[in-house]
Amino acid sequence: MRFRIAASAGVLALAATSSLFSAGSASALATGGGCRAPYYADGVNTQACITYDGGNNIHAAAYTGDAVHNTIDLCIKIVNSGGGQMGPTTCREVDAYYGSVVGPSITAPPGNYYGVAWFTSPTYYYAGESPAVNVS
């Protein structure tokens, strides 16, 4: 339960901060997004999320929730439906017990976008993909 509350609070925080990036008029509309169900890898529960500002500015975040304290490098990036990366990768050293990383906002052309998460500890582990955001 602690994990879901933290992830929900994080998505609300992302939605609130995304309005900071919406200066000017946006001609595109985005739909979808949110958080995927927790993904379990190497003893760590992770959750990948993506959100938008109502226009075409999107950003992704990843969260952890685990029963033990381990240091991991948690990363997030935004990819399009063809697998191409959009914007920079963002990584942060976090405590697997409760950690998060938030990527920067990007302005996306029409298409479908996902937040993809992974971590290293030091081995690489895929940590899930967010639901899609569709920018039209």
pLDDT at 122 over 50: yes
Q: What is the mean pLDDT of residues 4-8?
A: 44
- Report pLDDT for 133: 93
The three-class DSSP label of residue 20 is helix
What pLDDT digit, counting tens, does each position of 59-116 carry? 999 999 887 888 999 999 999 998 899 999 999 999 999 999 999 999 999 999 999 9
**In this structure, is the dihedral angle defined by the CA atoms of residues 18, 50, 115 and 67, taken in order, positive or negative?**
positive
Domains and CATH numbers, the chain: 2-135 (2.60.40)
Phi, psi of 49 (to 5 degrees): -135, 155
pLDDT for 20 equals: 24
Mean pLDDT of the chain: 81
Residue 4 — pLDDT band, cuts 50, 70, 90?
very low
CB-count burial class (<10 Å; 0-12, 13-18, 19+) for 41? middle
10 or 45, which is more confident? 45
Asked whether residue 54 carries a pLDDT value surpassing 50, the answer given is yes
Give yes or no for residue 118 having a pLDDT over 90.
yes
pLDDT at 38: 93
